[in-house]
Amino acid sequence: MKVFLGADHAGYKLKEKIKQFLEQKKIGFKDFGTNSTESCDYPDFAKKVATAVQKNKGSYGVLVCGTGTGTAIAANRFSGVRTVQATSEYLSKMAREHNNANVISLGARVTPEKDALKFVETFLSTAFSKEERHVRRVKKIG
C-alpha cells in the first residue's frame, strides 16, 4: 500500500502524527509537505497528492488542512480522485465501502488527533465492497 500525504500550515502537526502512525504500521508513504507551520496554500498540496493518486493505481492520499474542507474541494477537482471530508469513523468507512474513495481529508482544527488517526486507520483498512450497485455508481462519477 502506498500513501501520499499533504497538508497546509494548519494541518502540518497532524500530518506529522499521521506519518508516525504510518511508520508504526509499516505502511509506505511519501510526504509532499508542507514542512512547517508557516502559512501556505492548501490547493498546492491537494494538487500534489491528487496527481500522485491519479498516477499510482491503488494508492491513497491523506490531506490535512484546518477544517478538511479546502483540501477536499481541491483534490476532488482531479479526475478519478474521490475524496471524503472525514468527520467520523462511519464516514471514513462508508467512503471506502460504497464510494471507493481514495483520498481522506481531515480538519486539524476540528478533529482531535486520536480521532483523526482512527479515521485514517479505518479508511486504509476498509475495502471497496465491489457489489454491482456500488461499482455502477462509482463508474457513473467518471
Binding site for ligand RB5 (CB under 6 A): 8, 10, 42, 65-67, 69-70
- Give yes or no for a contact between 71 and 23, defined as CB atoms under 8 angstroms apart: no
- Nearest approach, Cβ of 34 to ligand RB5 (angstroms)? 11
Strands 83-85 and 60-65: unpaired
Nearer to ligand RB5, 59 or 84 (CB): 84
CB-nearer residue toward ligand RB5: 21 or 42: 42
- Helices marked H in 1-142 — which ranges? 12-24, 42-55, 69-75, 89-97, 113-125, 132-141
In whole angstroms, how close is the CB of 28 to ligand RB5 at the nearest point?
Answer: 26
Name the residue with the smallest CB distance to ligand RB5. Answer: 70
Return d(Cα 96, Cα 28) in angstroms, integer. Answer: 19
Residues 86 and 112: their CA atoms lie apart, in Å, by 12
Please identify, using beta-carbon distances, which residue of 6 and 70 lies nearer to ligand RB5. Answer: 70
**To the nearest whole angstrom, how small is the minimum distance from the Cβ of residue 2 to ligand RB5?**
25
Instruction: Catalogue the active-site residues.
Output: 98
Distance in angstroms (rounded) separating the CA atoms of residues 7 and 96: 21
Q: Which residue has the cell 455502477?
A: 136
Rounded to a whole number of angstroms, the minimum distance from the CB of residue 8 to ligand RB5 is: 5
In this complex, which beta carbon is closest to ligand RB5, that of residue 65 or of residue 75? 65
